[in-house]
Homo-oligomer: A and B are copies of this chain.
Amino acid sequence: MRNTVCSGLAALLLLGSFTFVSPTQDPEVPYPEGYRMWTHIKTGLIGPANPGFRFNGGYHHIYANATAMQGYNTGYFPKGSVLVFDVLDAKEQNGNTTEAGRNHVDVMVRDSVKYASTGGWGYEEFKGDSHTERLLTTAVKGQCFNCHAQQSDHVFSEFRK
């Protein structure tokens, strides 16, 4: 009898672990393999005089997969949309500013079920050229969500034609 109770409790605990998913247990956002072949949305350059330099200094290029391109065209980003914010160091010499090493790769993935706790978009940041070294804590993902949620369908950028 005691064993049965214990087994039942264990089963309940196991069940609970699948039923009550906290934001910390959202599925991981996969590395956006092949994104350099995706569509280039736009580019910016953030210099030391800008408050954003600390985290996103240098060049940033935004890339979108084919599904996300539907979002730029219609205003609604379907499930499977992936956006990449690719941040590279910048080198200036004689007025010519060129791209240098990769600082980090930010990723947004649209899935309203998997990433319900952050508004239907999953957020991640990969360090440098790493495909596995993840930089975002749950708290920072919440900050991504809070800021993006103020934009139409949570996307800041527009496709530069």
Contacts and interface: CB of A to CB of B under 8 A. Distances in A.
Interface in A27-68: 36-37, 39-40, 42-50, 52-53, 59, 61, 63
A44 B97 CA distance: 6
Nearest to A36: B161
Nearest to A44: B98
Question: For chain A, what secondary structure do more than half of its interface residues adopt (helix, strand, loop), or is it mixed?
Answer: strand
A44 B99 contact: yes
A16 interface: no
A94 B50 contact: yes
B161 A47 contact: no
B39 A95 contact: no
Contact of A96 (B36, B47, B90): B47
B49 A99 contact: no
